[in-house]
């Protein structure tokens, strides 16, 4: 019985610690950009720099865009207009009750850009799962897209083979552990590998903010719904027959190309959608190319900008 009481007290302390930290961090880290009402919920967008085209950065699953692109956006902003935005349930954006399909997120991004006054044409820079949204955006609004830079993006070919059921089961358990404050406690002891992989590349200032945003939204309903809706999103992107002559750059992780079935094949399949394509393999680099080797991503964005200015 005493053991049970001890466990209950530990849970209570974890919950108090977690929710007290949430309140403190919400005050400490206000949104750097603006919150724009889109379809009944507010999305966060942060813009810097001047020029055209405008470069839009989108992050991978569960990752806050502001910190995740902190090694890229400030550098590109020196000579170009850039924007990062948080999908619903990410960063400073509010959650949404609507399905998290690529088509829904593309429509929300388009509305966000118009409402916030950002001007086309756009270059979309997308990492991991957000590559699906970038490709569908370019197909849906081709006249507004000047180019795509896909950073080790997920593809229909890869996601069709992915068994999501065990992954979702684990994530649902982790979600409830987060509600109980246990994920934050584990993170304090550096026991969350995904957090450590990102954090090691960030400055001290961005590490603190990244942790705060990570714990605030860890595997919330919108993030889970993105994976639940992945089959529908994959079908939406698979239906794309061409991206025409929109410049398309795909940067592939050398490690993923060597170790994950259909990873590079999926990238080559997406490349065939455009008549103006470039394929870069980041040899020896993992999935987060933009964090592990940011100079490669910066170089390819600048090369694309230079080609568009000629």
CATH code where residue 111 lies: 3.40.50.1820
Helix ranges (DSSP H) in the chain:
2-28, 65-68, 73-76, 102-115, 130-140, 156-161, 164-179, 182-188, 193-199, 204-217, 221-228, 230-238, 254-259, 263-271, 289-292, 294-309
Range of the domain at 112: 2-309
Residue 147: phi and psi, rounded to 5, are 175, 165
Looking at residue 265, its pLDDT comes to 93
C-alpha 237/C-alpha 249 separation (Å) is 17
C-alpha 118/C-alpha 138 separation (Å) is 16
Report the interhelical angle of 221-228 vs 230-238 (nearest 10°).
50
Give how far Cα 53 sits from Cα of 33, 83, 120, 158, 309, Å. Answer: 20, 11, 7, 31, 10
pTM for the model: 0.91
Closest to 296 in 3D by CA, of 309, 276, 277, 280: 280
Looking at residue 21, its pLDDT comes to 80
Strand-pair category, 122-127 with 145-151: parallel
Looking at residue 194, its pLDDT comes to 61
Closest to 96 in 3D by CA, of 168, 33, 37: 37
Looking at residue 153, its pLDDT comes to 97
Strand-pair category, 122-127 with 81-85: unpaired
Q: Which residues of the chain fall below pLDDT 70? A: 5, 189-196
State which H helix or E strand residue 247 sits in: none
Looking at residue 192, its pLDDT comes to 64
**Residue 204 tokens, joined:** 């001290």
**Could you give the number of structural domains in the chain?**
1
Looking at residue 205, its pLDDT comes to 86
Omega into 131 within 30° of 0, i.e. cis? no
Q: Which residues contact 190 (CB under 8 A, 6 or more apart)?
A: 196
**Residue 143 tokens, joined:** 């006249």
Closest to 241 in 3D by CA, of 146, 133, 138, 153: 138
């Amino acid at each position: 019985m005493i053991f049970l009481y001890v466990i209950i007290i530990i849970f209570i302390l974890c919950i108090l610690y977690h929710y007290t930290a949430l309140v403190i961090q919400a005050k400490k880290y206000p949104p750097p950009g603006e919150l724009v009402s889109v379809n009944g919920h507010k999305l966060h967008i942060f813009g810097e720099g001047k020029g055209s085209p405008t470069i839009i950065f989108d992050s991978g699953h569960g990752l806050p865009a502001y910190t995740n692109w902190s090694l890229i956006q400030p550098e590109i902003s020196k000579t170009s207009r850039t924007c990062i935005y948080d999908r619903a349930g990410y960063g400073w954006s509010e959650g949404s009750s609507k399905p998290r399909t690529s088509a829904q997120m593309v429509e929300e991004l388009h509305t966000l850009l118009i409402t916030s006054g950002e001007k086309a044409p756009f270059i979309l820079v997308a990492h991991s799962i957000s590559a699906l949204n970038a490709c569908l955006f370019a197909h849906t609004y081709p006249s507004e897209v000047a180019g795509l830079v896909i950073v080790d993006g997920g593809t229909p070919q890869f996601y069709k083979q992915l068994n999501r059921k065990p992954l979702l089961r684990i994530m649902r358990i982790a979600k409830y552990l987060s509600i109980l404050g246990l994920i934050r406690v584990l993170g304090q002891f550096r026991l969350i590998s995904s957090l450590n992989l990102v954090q090691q590349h960030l400055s001290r200032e961005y590490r603190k903010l990244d942790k705060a945003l990570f714990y605030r939204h860890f595997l919330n309903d919108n993030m889970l719904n993105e994976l639940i809706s992945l089959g529908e999103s994959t079908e939406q992107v698979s239906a794309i027959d061409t991206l025409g002559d929109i410049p398309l750059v795909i940067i592939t992780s050398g490690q993923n190309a060597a170790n994950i079935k259909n990873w590079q094949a999926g990238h080559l399949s997406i490349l065939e959608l455009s008549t103006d394509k470039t394929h870069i393999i980041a040899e020896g680099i993992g999935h987060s190319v933009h964090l592990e080797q940011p100079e490669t991503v910066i170089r390819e964005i600048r090369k694309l900008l230079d080609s568009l200015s000629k």
